[in-house]
Amino acid sequence: MDLGIAGKVAWVHGASSGLGRATALALAREGAAVACSARSAESLEETAADIESETGGHCVAVPLDVSDADSIAPAHEQVVNYLGPVDILLSNAGGPPPGPFESLGEEELQSAFGLTTASAWHLTKAVLPGMRAKGSGCILYLTSSSTKEVIPNLLLSNMMRAAVVGMAKTLSKELGPEGIRVLCVAPGRIDTARLRALDEGNAERSGRDVAEVAADAKMRIPLGRYGDPQEFGDVVAFLASGRASYISGTSVTIDGGMLNGLLT
């Protein structure tokens, strides 16, 4: 199936590993020119080189810490200079630290807001003028299954990602008449470094082996396993494409059937 994104410009965040890297690869395989951003310049350069080697496409590294709001506009300018105006944005900033309410203070609150919520706002501000000039575009926010069912011990993530969903829904109403789609992609338990770290934390708190914790988690997933990052990336590539041109204003959950709600 031709997704119709060959020649489009995609800006993917958190692209040095995990879900961001898988998304950058999926988009490049479909012929998009991809700008990869994350904090580590060295790992980004390796990622971009690997993607170019595998796909034969054009992939550039644009280092950026999205929690530094003042750095976003200059990074966006680099992307435009390298590749042209952005057609597809995946806002992906990783997750705030775990912990219950009593263990978290003002510093953690403000840091989580800057990392997860404000970054989505500032990235959108950066790419939107170019999308408006074209009369088209797709903005995707990487959230979490926690926006449908809160996850214990992830208070800050539960809070900040829910705010992003509210922004996405509102923007879909505002920008739809201009040909710009806005939606969220909500991963469940995908096998990434962050998920493994969360499993390790749960194991430590409960005094159990991490393999036992993971096995229990997989028992709650109808497909019986954690997702592969590339399965997530392929879904994002489809949602960003012309084949999904009537999907906007919603959260697409990629969780192997884990959630129980009727509205997931």
10-residue mean pLDDT profile of the chain (264 residues): values are: 92 96 97 96 93 95 96 98 98 90 96 97 98 98 95 94 97 98 96 85 86 89 95 98 97 95 77
Kindly calculate the radius of gyration of the chain based on its CA atoms and give it in whole angstroms: 18
Is 99 domain-assigned?
A: yes
Is 77 domain-assigned?
A: yes
Is 156 domain-assigned?
A: yes
Tens of pLDDT, residue by residue over 146-172, are 999 999 999 999 999 999 999 999 999
Q: Which of 216, 211, 212, 224 is nearest to 256 (CA)?
A: 224
Is 219 domain-assigned?
A: no
Is 234 domain-assigned?
A: yes
Do residues 221 and 255 lie in contact, with contact meaning Cβ atoms separated by under 8 Å? yes
The predicted pLDDT at position 205 comes to 84
The predicted pLDDT at position 203 comes to 85
Angle at 18 between CA 152 and CA 1, to 5 degrees: 115
Tell me, what CATH number does 124's domain have?
3.40.50.720
Is 261 domain-assigned?
A: no
DSSP string of 187-210, one letter each residue: E-SB-SHHHHHHHHHHHHHHT--H
The predicted pLDDT at position 264 comes to 67
Specify the long-range contacts of residues 18-21, CB closer than 8 Å, at least 24 apart: 18/190, 18/192, 18/193, 18/194, 18/229, 19/92, 19/142, 19/187, 19/190, 19/192, 19/229, 19/232, 19/233, 20/90, 20/92, 20/142, 21/47, 21/229, 21/233
What residue numbers bound the domain in which 238 lies?
Answer: 9-190+227-254
Total domain count, the chain:
1
Is 220 domain-assigned?
A: no
Is 201 domain-assigned?
A: no
* Cα distance between residue 222 and residue 219, in whole Å: 7
| Residue 150 CB neighbour total at 10 angstroms | 15
The predicted pLDDT at position 106 comes to 96
